[in-house]
Chains A and B, each alone.
Chain A
Amino acid sequence: MKLKKFGASVLAMTMAASMMVGCGETAADTTEAPATETPATETPATEAPAAETPATEEAPAAEAKNIEATEITFWHAMNGNLESVLTEITDEFNASNEYGIKVTLVNQGAYGDLQTKLQASAAADALPDLAQAYNNWLTPYIDKAVKLDDFVATDFDNWEDIIPAYRDECSEFGFIHAVPYNKSTYVLFYNKTMFEELGIEVPQTWADVEAAAKTVMDAKNIAFIGYDDLAGVVEASLHQDGADYVDATGALFNDEKGLETCTYLSNLYNNGYARLVGEDGYFSNVISNQNIASYVGSSAGVSYIKAEGWDLGVAPLPGNVKKAANMAGTNIVMFAQDSNKQLAAWEYLKYILSTEAMTKWAVNTGYLPVRQSSYETAEYKAYMDENVCAAACYEQAKDFFFSPTFDASNDIRSTVPSTVEQLVYDKADAQTWLDTIVKAINDQY
């Protein structure tokens, strides 16, 4: 009797526990079955065999292209208007290319869903031919990405035309693993009406921010500034102060510069000049309700701001000893293993990165052009004249930096925001900020 009962309860528990294990694993595990039958990938994967293949076939292909009609799958996370613009551009490619290449777009939901799906597919060796991805998603399976160096060298109109920071980001693993596509940057959104009413100029420096914040606090008793990305603001502020953030060995700012940056940030929060977003989710909601004077967020989020009864202004991020602005948005990575598919996918990438298609993409979505020549088209210039956000982004294009990717970078990205939140709740002083953040980062290695 007892034994039976024990058995039953173990079974129940097994189910219960594995359900939650399933939570972490289903995606990986259900798809894992086929993976086991291709053990061959285990060893050579590290050598990235795919990279070599196109090189040999690519050279002759450049003159007389020999691409057989094929279908290319492209996983993306573009929704709403963004998706329809992408679809339109893709349809144009499908209709116009001479090889009969058909690119099929597959919407994988939000970025988080896409990240999860890609990870599971990498485990099952079932990655799509093309996918949007952030660099830090790729660390576990970067060796499955096709090296694009040869394509870029032999079959791209002008790689130098791509904004330098994007080129750096797309080659940070030591080879070109992606092409930039839907890029945005963090900008300062502000309530222009409120600024004018209180006689505040757009802040250029940290000192300007503090002065303006005091004016707003005295007049309106609301916070001046907020940051959607708390890890991003720590990183950007350090760069603005001429300091470094992290590298593969640990935090790099445990010094006077770091303390200076922490002093700036802790003062903002402790004086009520800056606030956390809390239940409002995103600062676009807070500024829409005029409960904050300005905030730093992604330029791609501009459409979420409802400026009713007030005018929205957009400006480059304020700096300290120099200017520095976070880049955001994904790149497109190629995973196609078949050499014909690689050639076909490259045709598509070339098409969507062409000055013309890129300009169209940028004007219709608000994403930033990835190449200089698009910025210089009459079409984009006209767009910038009307669109304050685009103009502000372009102004700081020279100040872009990207977050380096290494083993601990994902942990750092997820640890720093909650650490900063706790410091804000504790009203901690600058030295505590510095010590706590440095320790939180170094604990991740």
Chain B
Amino acid sequence: MDKKSFKGYLYLLPSIIIMLAFTVYPLIRAIIMSFLGDYSIINHGYSSIGFENYKNLFADPDFAKSLKNTSIYVICVVPASIFLSLVIAVLINSCKRFKALFQTIYFLPYVTSVIAIGIVWRWMFNSNYGLINYFLGLFGIDPVQWLNLPQYAMPALIIFAIWKSMAFNILIFLAGLQTIPEDIYRAARIDSTPRLRVFTRITVPQLAPMIVYSSVIGMIGAFKVYNEVFSLFQGKAGPANSAITIVYYIYDKFYNSYKYGVAAAGSVVLFLIILALTQIQLRVTGEKKKK
């Protein structure tokens, strides 16, 4: 190691220490914990070493349900949010006069507490007095029991989450739109290219790195969904646990059931899922870029 890079590492030291202490160490502890049966965080005792927690985990129908719900959530929320954000970002960008105003408005959800937003959405979803059912009523649709019936719990959660996650994506895309050279658009205008084609052939390809970034970050975030569930269903996981997610399950096992080992096993499974999917995502998008 030459002197120069030593200095570099020195600068990195504080963040490395913080990361080792608060990220790597807990991660290793969680992995170890997941292999200890009946582990107690109080006296660090355990009854067995092995896959007992994983067996319990996969035998638990609630965990299967949480896996299923989380997958549905990720599949619905991430693409929908990116698509809508992209459209809105382009619209905001093309609007000259009130750009700053709209930028602020669309960014508000990001800086507002999820719990506060959850209260507002709870009212909007209210079956009797809610805005959403009011609008549906204008089209002759009967009131939907959004938060009362298990079959509507996930749709309600997904709608809420798409809206919530758009703020960050819009910000990223707006920043990305600034970097697209004006010349390309000018050339397209000279050729009188239709607007839709400008969008699909110029804007989207130019924004590709941001879209990849948003989808990776969005997917990781979506797999960890917990706050949204908690705030929308007042601390529960929806009617009859119908909107239970993996992190909610882990939290519940850890803090309410004191099944520390099972909670750790759940978090390791989640870690592996996210790791695998992110790898696939990076490979696929990476290869595209090479072309």
Contact = CB atoms under 8 A, between A and B. Distances in A.
A10 B27 CA distance: 13
Contacts of A14: 23-24, 27
A19 interface: yes
B267 A21 contact: yes
A276 B239 contact: yes
A17 B255 contact: no
Interface stretch (B38-46, B81-89, B179-187, B188-196): B38-46
Q: How large is the interface on A (under 10, 10 to 19, 20 to 34, 35 or more residues)?
A: 35 or more
Most buried by A among B42, B44, B224, B254: B42
A25 B267 CA distance: 10
A42 B278 contact: no
A278 B27 contact: no
Contacts of A10: 275
A18 B240 contact: no
Given A24-B250, A24-B263, A410-B258, A140 B40 contact: yes
Contact of B29 (A29, A112, A421): A29
A42 B220 contact: no
B69 interface: no
Contacts of B30: 18, 21, 25
B254 A24 contact: yes
Interface stretch (A116-124, A323-331, A392-400): A116-124
B274 interface: yes
Interface in B246-268: 247, 250-252, 254-259, 263-264, 267
A419 to B, nearest CB: 8
A411 B270 CA distance: 22
A234 B278 CA distance: 45
Most buried by A among B25, B41, B252, B256: B41
A13 B27 CA distance: 11
B149 interface: yes
Given A16-B224, A41-B43, A425-B150, A23 B22 contact: no
A287 B169 CA distance: 43
Contact of A418 (B25, B27, B240, B275): B240
Given A20-B224, A276-B239, A279-B125, A414 B275 contact: no
Interface string A352-393: 000000000000000000000000000000000000000000
Most buried by B among A16, A411, A421: A16
Nearest to B273: A17
B252 A414 contact: yes
Contacts of B226: 20, 23
A414 B237 CA distance: 11
Nearest to B241: A418
Contact of B23 (A15, A42, A422): A15
Given A10-B275, A425-B240, A17 B257 contact: no
B27 A410 contact: no
A116 B29 contact: no
B44 A278 contact: no
Interface string A391-417: 000000000000000000011001000
Contact of B278 (A12, A116, A119): A12
A20 B286 CA distance: 27
B270 A17 contact: yes
B241 A16 contact: no
B137 interface: no
Given A45-B43, A279-B125, A279-B148, A13 B257 contact: no
Contact of A6 (B43, B148, B279): B279
A175 interface: no
B177 interface: no
Nearest to B246: A20
A60 interface: no
Interface in B39-88: 40-45
Contacts of B146: 279
Contacts of A12: 216, 220, 278
A97 interface: no
Nearest to B127: A279
A139 interface: yes
B43 A46 contact: yes
Contacts of A5: 282, 286
B126 A17 contact: no
A116 B275 contact: no
Interface string A412-445: 0010001101100100000000000000000000
Contact of B224 (A19, A141, A144, A419): A19
A70 interface: no
Contacts of A279: 122, 125-127, 146-148
Contact of B271 (A13, A112, A140, A414): A13
A261 interface: no
B205 interface: no
A115 interface: yes
Contacts of B247: 20, 23
Interface in B110-140: 122, 125-127
Interface string B10-46: 0000000001001111110110000000001111110
A116 B254 CA distance: 10
B240 A22 contact: no
Most buried by A among B226, B234, B252, B255: B255
24 contacts: A9-B279, A12-B216, A13-B274, A13-B278, A14-B23, A17-B27, A17-B275, A18-B24, A20-B270, A25-B29, A28-B41, A41-B43, A45-B43, A116-B255, A119-B255, A119-B258, A139-B258, A276-B239, A279-B125, A279-B146, A410-B257, A418-B240, A422-B150, A422-B240
Given A17-B270, A42-B43, A46-B43, 18 more contacts: A12-B220, A17-B267, A17-B275, A18-B23, A18-B271, A21-B30, A23-B224, A23-B226, A24-B254, A112-B235, A119-B258, A122-B42, A140-B41, A141-B42, A278-B147, A410-B257, A410-B258, A422-B150
Interface of B: 19, 22-27, 29-30, 40-45, 122, 125-127, 145-150, 216, 220, 224, 226, 234-235, 237, 239-241, 247, 250-252, 254-259, 263-264, 267, 270-271, 274-275, 278-279, 282, 286
7 tightest Cβ-Cβ pairs between the two chains A and B: A17-B271, A278-B148, A421-B240, A279-B147, A418-B241, A422-B240, A24-B254
